[in-house]
């Protein structure tokens, strides 16, 4: 394939101008989706991490089973099950709701494990010291333990958030019009790969600053341990 043909197939400015409104709509949907699923996952993770501090077997073992189950099931399989499987139980869900539920279950389990490790990294005396000031256990957890836990595992939290944003692309399988879905729609109309390449570039420009921030935090954390 000659360079001109290659450039026309993958980097056509005319095709990009034609497809840009569709790609922009997908980009906006991806941002909105990320702003939905990341807080949901964090909320689920916080709940799981806090519950993990309760050592009673009747709670501990079901909690471990919950986390292991939703970490083991591939998120794509989970998403398809929620969207296409629940209707057989009489529960019709929209594509957006299916994505929200699937991501809540999957990413919540991962966030929960990260935050649990963060909580365990906080010295045990911190809870007793906080309780001695008159705080309840819940207040001590929210105001003293969790802030320290988040700081201790911040690079891991950012890394997982990065993966969650990238993972939103699987929402295309349930026809949610996020960036990848819109790029594929544009490709099917233009018979050209430029929209897919443009989507990859948009993802890169969106997430590269986060990657650099993550590298800085990891280097700072390593330097602090020396």
Which residue from 75, 106, 66 is spatially nearest to 173, judged by alpha carbons? 75
More confident residue, 57 or 180: 180
**Residue 38 pLDDT > 90:** yes
225 pLDDT above the threshold of 70: no
Q: What is the number of other CB atoms lying within 10 angstroms of the CB of residue 9?
A: 15
Domain ranges for the chain, please list them.
Answer: 3-225
Closest residue by Cα to residue 70 from 103, 24, 116: 103
Task: Please determine, for residue 223, whether its predicted confidence score (pLDDT) is greater than 70.
Answer: no
The CA R_g of the chain, rounded to the nearest whole Å, is 22
pLDDT > 70: what percent of the chain? 95
Residue 224 has pLDDT above 80, yes or no: no
Mean pLDDT of the chain: 89
Terminal C-alpha separation, the chain = 53
Q: Is the pLDDT of residue 218 over 80?
A: no
49-100: per-residue pLDDT in tens?
999 888 888 888 999 999 999 999 999 999 999 999 888 888 888 999 999 9
Supply the pLDDT for residue 2.
66
Q: Report in angstroms the alpha-carbon separations of 131 from 26, 49, 56, 137, 145.
A: 49, 19, 21, 7, 11
Q: Give the integer Cα–Cα distance in Å for 206 and 184.
A: 19
The CATH code for residues 3-225 is: 1.10.3720.10
Confidence of residue 9 (pLDDT cuts 50, 70, 90): confident
pLDDT, mean of residues 183-194: 90
CA dihedral 174, 207, 189, 7 (to 10 degrees): -150
* Model confidence at 1: pLDDT above 60: no
User: Is 60 exceeded by the pLDDT of residue 130?
Assistant: yes
Its pTM stands at 0.88
Quick: pLDDT tens for 98-119: 999 999 999 999 999 999 999 9
Tokens of 73: 């099931």
193 DSSP assignment = S
């Amino acid at each position: 394939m000659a360079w001109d043909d290659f450039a026309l197939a993958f980097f056509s400015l005319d095709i990009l101008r034609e497809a840009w409104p569709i790609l922009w709509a997908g980009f906006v949907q991806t941002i909105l989706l990320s702003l939905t699923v990341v807080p949901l996952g964090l909320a689920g993770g916080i709940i799981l991490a806090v519950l993990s501090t309760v050592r009673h077997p009747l709670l501990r073992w079901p909690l471990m089973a919950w986390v292991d189950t939703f970490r083991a099931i591939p998120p794509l399989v989970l998403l398809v099950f929620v969207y296409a499987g629940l209707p057989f139980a009489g529960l019709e869900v929209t594509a957006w709701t299916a994505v929200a539920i699937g991501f809540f279950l999957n990413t919540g389990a991962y966030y929960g494990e990260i935050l649990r490790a963060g909580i365990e990294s906080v010295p045990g005396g911190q809870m007793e010291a906080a309780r001695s000031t008159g705080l309840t256990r819940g207040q001590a957890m929210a105001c003293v333990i969790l802030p320290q836990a988040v700081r201790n595992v911040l690079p891991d939290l950012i890394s997982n958030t990065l993966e969650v944003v990238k993972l939103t692309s699987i929402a295309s399988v349930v026809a949610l019009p996020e960036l990848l879905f819109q790029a594929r729609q544009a490709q099917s109309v233009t018979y050209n790969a430029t929209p897919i390449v443009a989507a990859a570039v948009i993802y890169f420009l969106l997430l590269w600053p986060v990657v650099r921030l993550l590298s800085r935090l990891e280097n700072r954390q390593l330097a602090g341990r020396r």
